[in-house]
Structure 1
Amino acid sequence: MSSGEIYTTLAGDGSAIRTPAPASGLDLPSVDLVLQDLPQISTSLPSRDTETIDSEEQEMMFRSLKSIIEPVEGTAEVAGSFDLKELHASLEQADADARRGRRDLESLRSVRTIIDRLWSCNSEYLAQAAEVLANGSRDPSWRIPFGQSGILKFFLEIISSKEENDTGLLLHALRLVGNSCADTDENRDIVIKDNYTLAVIRHFLNPELIQVAIPVIYNICMDYEPAHSQMAANMTAYILLRLLKDGAMKENDALLSFSYDLVELASEQVQGIENSPGGTILLLMDLAQDEDMTLEYYSPLVNSLAKYLENERFQNVCISDGMVEGVLVTLRRSFSIEIDQSSVEETKAILQLRLKINQALAEVSASSLFMEHYPLNSALSQTLKSWVVADDDQLQICACVMLGNLARSDEVCQVMVRDLKIHEELISLLNSDARGAVLHSALGFLKNLAIAGDNRVSLAEAGIIPAVSRLWAYDSVPQVQFSAASIARQVIISSVENIAHLLAPLSQDPDSPEQERTYLSLLLSLFEKSDSSPIKTEIGRTIASICRTISPKAREGDEKAISILNKLYGLHDGVARPLGAMTTQTQWPVVRSEGWFALALMANNKSGCVEVVDCLQQEEVMELLKATLSADPSSEKEFEETNSSQVSKDRDNAFVLVQELLKNESGALPAGYRDTIEDMVRDASQRLKMPFNS
């Protein structure tokens, strides 16, 4: 896809929505330009034509080299102007080593001498010698000696040379390098030391050499991290993506497999991502969206795209250059990738790829730039809204997460609820048989919408409390339970009407036993069953929020508040226990203070006192109350200033609690408990210099 083409974003019903093209200034340099900007490699090869050797002697040298690499059983063919005795001995040793399955470095000294001389006289036999050596390098026993003898280095320099070299010579030089580096880290070190991977990469542009050069890089990099890093830093991913886009490897399945694997390998390296042009993600998406794309190639492209979009620069490029639509299309494309439905492996693979794209989109939409470039009235937002009720989990999750990230201001949240009515679709989703992951994302979106105060009434009127109440029993996914409990707390904050919804009966039938149970009853049942401290604490905060809103109004004589308070205490045994859990948790000191304060508010009511007494029957809560009342932060050197303030606040709230309890308990306290609490209050009042009336 060129930078001027238009993305087509698919809506939930499969219809096409035309969206803006990526910015025309997107960084998409040519491969030639990329290679020009990479460092040049210096070579130490001697100049050619420095020695004159007649053709007969050149042939003899070649035959001598060949006899070392391809010895005939029991004999050795020797000729040329060498020390024949020394060469004969060397060949005999090489032949014996071959029969024993190993190669001796000494046997390659004369080989290096031969190829140096063939180079210096610019011999046509050098290409043939390279072929013989490349064939020999297929034998693992030759590989390390090739590296130690300097033969590998010699051909690496030929590959790196700026001189015009015969294509056949370069082809076999590349073969030798690739074979010599297969599973041989010693030789890979030689390649990496002087950045010869770049020299090999430059030959990707030669149509006659690309089919060898790409597998060579693959052999060098496979299971060898230093080579991965260097290959990535040399812009291999971008170069290959441009070549793939231009069809340079079409009709060659093996080459395509190597190329896509190398792109993915490069994306796993920080250097590769940091050095890549911004247009890299455009190429990844364009290739992934090809109508003929298979899972084998779609997978490395998506894995790479996800890696790039973890990087802040590429997130910003994706947003500012109008490519977020392209990521959505890439996700939608996954549903038309052909897979073997009977294959557990392929089914799992495509699901993992969708999860990775969704995670990338979550990161992108969380950027502060996202709302600036994709406001609520954009085509992309409209597409996402249609996906909320799509027929696939991953599209629904994508929509909830991305729109939820847009819902980060009161103004936007109010438009979403008031004008778009999106909360109604989300609540419908909660009432469906959607999977846990979809429910969790929908709840997260609703929590954002509930932050805007004006939205809470609309959410409650649309049935948010009955919808989340069924999820309080969703114990297979605790995150869903927690979010559902959290929504209840969020919706009732400072709202008498919504608190009334929470305390509404489960059935309007006067003959039904459910008429005496409320939605809050279900929440308290979750408290008793759950082992999750965050869930228990969140339920406690919900009770605390009710007390904060209703108790002051009831004291002022508000009839509705009094009615709600009577329901709170009359229909919900154990309603104070979640407040006790708030005080005994240790993760959030502010929540602990909130718990003591709510217990004090509850103790201000005679019926509430009964529940507070029930809470204090828990030994852990009673012991903490004693410790809190006796705390003296000013005498503890280890207390920091903030801790000291928090401890003082806890102590003051606890003191108010016990005073209210003694004043309103009306016999609810067992005699022994009352004596204990009176002693605690008397002691605390003396230390705090506060009045105490028994």
Structure 2
Amino acid sequence: MSSQAGISTAQSGHGAVGQSVSKKGDWDLPPIEDILSDLSGFSSSLPARGAEAVDSEEQQGMFRALRDIIEKAQESDEAGNNFDLQELHASLEESDATTRRGRRDAETLQSVIDTLNKLWTCNSEYLVQATEIIANGSRDPLWRAPFGQSGILKFFLDVISLKDEVDTGLLLHSLRVIGNSCADTDENRDIVVKGNYTLAIIRYFLDPQLVFIAIPVIYNICMDYEPAHTQIATNRTAYILLKLIKDGEIENNEALLNFSYDLIELASEQAEGIEKSPDGTILLLTELALDETLEFSHFSSLVTSLTAYLEKEKFQTVCVSNGMVEGILDVLRRSFSIEFDQSSAEDVKAIAQLRLKINQALAEVSASPLFAQHYPLDSSISQSLKSWVVADEDQLQICACVMLGNLARSDEVCQVMVRDLKIHEELISVLNGESRGAVLHSSLGFLKNLAIAGDNRVILGEAGIIPAVSRLWAYESVPQVQFSAASIARQVIISSIDNISHLLAPLSQDPDSPANQRTYLSLLLSLFEKSDSMPIKTEIGRTVASICRTLSPKARDGDEQANTLLDKLFTLHEGVALPLGAMITQTQWPVVRSEGWFALALMATNKLGCAAVVDCLHKTEVTELLKTTLGAETSGQDGAEEEIDKSQENKDRDNAFILVKELLKNEAGALPVGYRDMLGDLVKAHTFQLGATADA
């Protein structure tokens, strides 16, 4: 909103506001009168009317004197009686002081305020005319500050706060004075806000003869003035305007609708106002946003406001408990059919931002514990979301993945989604398609949730999850996709020898193809070499560690498949131990470091694995850490945190000790003599240290 409303004179023609309580379903939409009656009243500083008798001739003289003061400094506004609301969008025309006559200051206006008080006190018929002259003069920007400084603005604020005691003509021109005086003039706006006079003005939204001017007055007070935003929000202006629009009280009036939607959006930016709004506010916002005749700018204001309300837990609960989530989904769907200027970069950016806001709101709503209670898997909304997984629109796909992913919070639900709904098949098809990064990321996040439960890992493996994610390991443009794709691989192979075999399967079944000697794990190791991301490197290391953790015990027990897979692991994958070295040398996650020591020790129990471990020791800083770890003394500090550190140190030292012992037992000449002697010395030193500790 960049322009002020120039306020001239009257225009009417609106129907009366209904008085009955409006209800839709279980919603209670309180009448505006009830909203306003809850808010505080006003105390006017005006003297009593009729308290002083002034003869007609003197009244006329006072009026003429007032008129002369204003009109000597202000050219007559011949268009004053030809007011057109369309002009409200135009900025007020700046006055050229050199072409005006007379002075414009508070001192000059002192006699004017005295005259106004006298005309009020004697209940003069000239007061309306005098107010109209001042209202016309208030269109001149140079009068604005003096009107505030002289007390004229305060006089008319007190007049409109009385309401029932004042005739419509006087109220009309008083509102004009207030609205024009506050345009671009913060010192006058401050006078209005300090007295909470915005509430008095808002009450005229219910007057069909004055609503057309009261709304632009509030608009002028609020333009680029934060304190007024807060006050109109606290006075529940958003709900009042939404109710008036919904009830048809501001229809067929483009200018008023523009002002109204802008004010609704302004009010929605204030947290305090949102908290005080009736529950039905989000119903009104949703229903109006779904109006097929709505202009894009109005749709934008409504959606921005709606998503602001849905950031609050109160309205998230209201939304879910009252079955409104379908309506919010309809608003998202509506964003793809509403007309906007596609040649306008601003509009294109705006519609994209609106869709993101709606999706974020739906993500928050579906994260509520109440969501699963009101929208179980067999609900119609779940069916709709399932169909959106493979929709043509990115934001619909993202919405479906996030919301269904939020439903997938228990093993039981995850298993039903995979076993019965087979939703994983659609998600895998998305990964195999040409979807953009944001869709891929949300699909991977959903799949990761599904992979945690029961037999789902096996089902995902059989459905081709490994080949599907493997193509995304090269998705360099979006590192989050690379990380999630690597993370899925780790997730599905946990304790699953079948999925490990999928990961170690050849890229080509043609024995003459070079790809026959490369596996999907080879691609993952290539990502490890290329990536600078420690989380990605660590995730790949944890994948290798998981393979060792699953296969090594089975191989020791004579499991033929496990032995075959271990052979493939070490013979086809040069540098397979390097990701474990990255786990050990990183300093961010102590638990991951311990996991790396353990996996490297497991690898060393295999004669082929020993060569990979030796390669890791030569190419990384693990050797130095090995010396440090085996030589470290147990911390003597006390306290819970120190106990955890002590336990971690002990675990790392034990795993490092096992690693060295297994290397010395299985290396079969892979270690240089000097290196082997160094490792032997480490074992002796550590054994001696253990003995000393025991003796102590």
Please give the TM-score of this superposition, normalised by the length of structure 1: 0.91
Whether the 8 Å contact between 2:73 and 2:100 is mirrored in structure 1 is no
Whether the 8 Å CA contact 1:362–1:398 is kept in 2: the answer is: yes
- Residue 127 of structure 1: aligned partner: 128
Mapped partners of 2:513, 2:652: distance in 1: 43
CA distance in 1, matches of 2:97, 2:250: 44
In the TM superposition, what whole-angstrom CA distance separates every residue of 1:265-310 from its partner, at most 9, and x where no partner exists? 1111011110011111111110010011121111011111111111
How many Å apart are 1:45 and its aligned residue? 1.7
**Aligned partners of 1:643 and 1:224: how far apart in 2?**
55
Alignment of 1:563 onto 2:560:
no
Q: How does 1:142-291 map to 2 (within 5 A)?
A: 142-291=143-292
For residues 540 and 489 of structure 2, the distance between their equivalents in structure 1, rounded to whole angstroms, comes to: 9
- Report the 3-state secondary structure (helix = DSSP H, G, I; strand = E; otherwise coil) of the residue aligned with 1:156: helix
Asked whether the equivalents of residues 73 and 104 of structure 2 are also in contact (C-alpha less than 8 Å), the reply is no
SS at match of 1:27: strand
Larger mean Cα displacement after TM superposition, 334-343 or 597-606: 334-343
The CA distance in 2 between the partners of 1:57 and 1:65, in whole Å, is: 12
One-letter amino acid matched to 2:327: G
**1:434 aligned onto 2:435:** yes
1:23 CA drift (Å): 7.8
Structure 1 residue 687: Cα displacement: 2.0
Structure 2 distance, partners of 1:131, 1:311, is: 45
Deviation at 1:636, TM superposition (A): 5.5
User: Residues 403-482 of structure 1 correspond to what in structure 2 (within 5 A)?
Assistant: 403-482=404-483
Q: Which position in structure 2 is the counterpart of 1:645?
A: 647
Amino acid at match of 2:576: V
Aligned to 1:579, what secondary structure does the other structure show?
A: helix
2:522 paired residue number: 521
In the TM superposition, 1:297-336 aligns within 5 A as: 297-336=298-337
On the 8 A contact 2:147/2:153 being kept in 1, the answer is yes
Q: Note closer, same or farther for the CA distance 1:109–1:667 as it changes in structure 2 (3 Å cut).
A: same
* One-letter identity of the residue aligned with 1:194: G
Using the TM superposition, give the Cα deviation of residue 73 of structure 1 relative to its aligned residue in structure 2, in angstroms.
9.6
For residues 469 and 538 of structure 1, the distance between their equivalents in structure 2, rounded to whole angstroms, comes to: 14
Corresponding residue for residue 85 of structure 1: none
* 1:84 corresponds to: none
Using the alignment, how far apart are the partners of 2:460 and 2:620 within structure 1?
39
Aligned to 2:688: 686
1:670 corresponding residue in structure 2: 672
Q: 1:26 to 1:134 in 2, by over 3 A?
A: same
Structure 2 vs 1, CA of residues 643 and 128 (structure 1 numbering), >3 Å: closer, same or farther? farther
Question: What displacement does 1:97 show?
Answer: 10
CA contact (8 A) 1:97 1:104 kept: no
Deviation (angstroms), 1:671: 2.5
Q: C-alpha distance in 2, partners of 1:460/1:690? A: 51
Tell me the distance in 1 between the aligned counterparts of 2:618 and 2:561: 31
User: Measured at CA, do residues 587 and 27 of structure 1 come closer, stay the same or move farther in structure 2, by a change above 3 Å?
Assistant: farther
* Aligned-partner SS, 2:260: helix
d(CA) in 2 for partners of 1:516, 1:114: 101
**Secondary structure class of the residue paired with 1:523:** helix
**Structure 1: 5+ residue stretches without partners:** 1-21, 75-94
Aligned-partner SS, 1:70: helix
Equivalent pairs, count = 650
Superposed CA offset, 1:379-434 (max 9, x none):
11111111111111111111111111111111111111111111111101110001
- Change over 3 Å in CA distance of 1:288–1:101 after alignment to 2: farther
CA distance change for structure 1 residues 97 and 129 in 2, over 3 Å: closer, same or farther? Answer: farther
2: distance between equivalents of 1:640 and 1:144?
68
Residue 58 of structure 1, CA deviation:
1.4
Separation in 2 of the partners of 1:62 and 1:398?
66
Contact residue 97 and residue 103 of structure 1 kept, 8 A? no
Q: In the TM superposition, what is the alpha-carbon distance from 1:690 to its structure 2 partner?
A: 8.9
Distance 1:284 1:234, change over 3 A: same
Cα displacement string for residues 144-165 of structure 1 (whole angstroms, at most 9, x for unaligned residues): 2211111111111111114331
Tell me the equivalent position of 1:356: 357
| Alignment check: 8 A CA contact 2:73 2:103 kept | no
Task: Provide the residue aligned with 2:369 in structure 1.
Answer: 368
- Evaluate the alpha carbon distance shift between residue 201 and residue 474 of structure 1 in structure 2; reply closer, same or farther with a 3 A threshold: same
Structure 1 residue 100: Cα displacement: 8.6
Determine the C-alpha separation between the residues in 2 that align with 1:210 and 1:263.
16
Mapped partners of 1:428, 1:690: distance in 2: 61
Paired with 2:227 and 2:603, the residues of 1 have a C-alpha distance of: 66
Identity %: 72
Are the counterparts in 2 of residues 548 and 598 from structure 1 also a CA contact under 8 Å?
yes
Q: RMSD between aligned alpha carbons?
A: 2.0
Q: Distance in 2 between matches of 1:115 and 1:645?
A: 85
The DSSP-based 3-state class of the residue aligned with 1:669 is coil
Letter in 2 for 1:255: L
Provide the secondary structure at the position in 2 that maps to 1:557: coil
Instruction: Read off the aligned partner of 1:602 and give its amino acid letter.
Output: M
Amino acid at match of 2:270: Q
